[in-house]
Amino acid sequence: MTPDLMEEGAQRVAKLRGPDLGSTTESGGREAGYGRIGTPGEVDVTHGRILYLEDVSVSFDGFKAINKLSLDIAPGELRCIIGPNGAGKTTMMDIITGKTRPDSGTVFFGSTIDLLRHKEVDIAQMGIGRKFQKPTVFEQLTVFENLELALKTDKGVKRSMFFKLDSAQGDRLAEILETIQLSGSVLRMAGNLSHGQKQWLEIGMLLMQDPKLLLLDEPVAGMTDEETARTAELFLTLKGKHSLMVVEHDMSFIRTISEIVTVLCDGSVLAQGTLDEVQADERVIEVYLGR
Ligand SMILES: Nc1ncnc2c1ncn2[C@@H]1O[C@H](COP(=O)(O)OP(=O)(O)O)[C@@H](O)[C@H]1O
Ligand SMILES: [Mg+2]
């Protein structure tokens, strides 16, 4: 790596850490972790939260899509989010990822990164990966090429063309292929995969960037029962290594993977607890589960 690239990287990390995360100790010396400046993936979770939302609101033409929403997620947690259509689930993800700016409220990644001060691309680079509902893989490329491409998104077309995986990246790619159960399909065109396989491939592409937090919007919609079961297994293996926020309507899928379930309604949290607890909640039955 050239000195100016290193400088650029150091500046990016400094910017990423923000002005309120001082790099000096109480006595004025450099903190011990300073030498790890080359790993921009570090997020301060000493307060036990990877994601923290407080009193977040956003209106679209006077309609409050998100209304004083507060919610937090622990590192390594797999949080399920359920709720009726229009509850604000996707809008919440838009806010976390910087796609939509809230009118008010607080959104933090770890305890030091104020997400409302960062742009969508920066937020993705800081370690928040997002899976939209529709699979968005490159259909004309192979499974391998799709995964390889996921490492180069920030490099621009010209440099991407000459980009080669180093051996650690190669190992990582192989490991992810195993995880998403596509090792046997490395050279297949992504366009020829089943719907479920495309969804896994896209998750694999997100994993290539080793995200701290993964936001998954209705990941099993349109999958066969078998694909859904495999996706549940996949998420259970990801839990702990990554934090996950999963929006789904499929209750048997939620039952397989869930710890804490948050019920969103009218842009705020209606109920939260185990699936049994929220399913027994009268208000949840009223607005979402039906009688
Ligand atoms: N960009 C937007 N402009 C106007 N209204 C929007 C926009 N995004 C979402 N909404 C509205 O906000 C509400 C919440 O939508 P959404 O977050 O998509 O709900 P969910 O994902 O829970 O089904 C809906 O009433 C939707 O029509
Ligand atoms: Mg939605």
Q: Give pLDDT tens digits along the chain (291 positions).
A: 333 433 443 444 344 334 333 333 333 333 333 323 334 558 899 888 999 999 999 999 999 999 999 999 999 999 999 999 999 999 999 999 999 999 999 999 999 999 999 999 999 999 999 998 888 899 999 999 999 998 875 555 555 556 678 888 889 999 999 999 999 999 999 999 999 999 999 999 999 999 999 999 999 999 999 999 999 999 999 999 999 999 999 999 999 999 999 999 999 999 999 999 999 999 999 998 875
Q: Check pocket membership of 101 for ligand 1, CB cut-off 6 A.
A: no
Q: DSSP secondary-structure letter at 11?
A: H
| CA 61 to ligand 1: nearest atom | 4
Q: Whose CA is nearest to atom 18 of ligand 1?
A: 90
Strand (E) or helix (H) holding 242: none
The CA 248 to ligand 2 mean position distance, Å, reads 9
- In CATH terms, 75-98+119-289 corresponds, of 3.40.50.1100, 3.30.420.40, 3.40.50.2300, 3.40.50.300, to 3.40.50.300
Token pair, residue 186, equals: 């490395």
Of 257, 236, 246, 259, nearest to 179 by C-alpha is: 236
Q: Check pocket membership of 262 for ligand 1, CB cut-off 6 A.
A: no
Residues in the chain: 291
Q: Check pocket membership of 60 for ligand 1, CB cut-off 6 A.
A: yes
Q: Check pocket membership of 87 for ligand 1, CB cut-off 6 A.
A: yes
| CA 264 to ligand 1: nearest atom | 22
pTM score, whole prediction: 0.83
**φ and ψ at 137, to 5 degrees?**
-105, 165
Q: Check pocket membership of 80 for ligand 1, CB cut-off 6 A.
A: no
Top mutation candidate among 56, 59, 60 for ligand 1, by most atoms within 8 Å of CB: 60
pLDDT confidence of residue 160: 58
The CA 7 to ligand 1 mean position distance, Å, reads 41
Q: Whose CA is nearest to atom 27 of ligand 1?
A: 86
- Indicate where the chain has its CATH 3.40.50.300 domain(s): 75-98+119-289
Between vectors from CA 171 to CA 168 and to CA 173, what angle results, nearest 5°? Answer: 110
How many Å separate Cα 223 from the centre of its chain?
Answer: 20
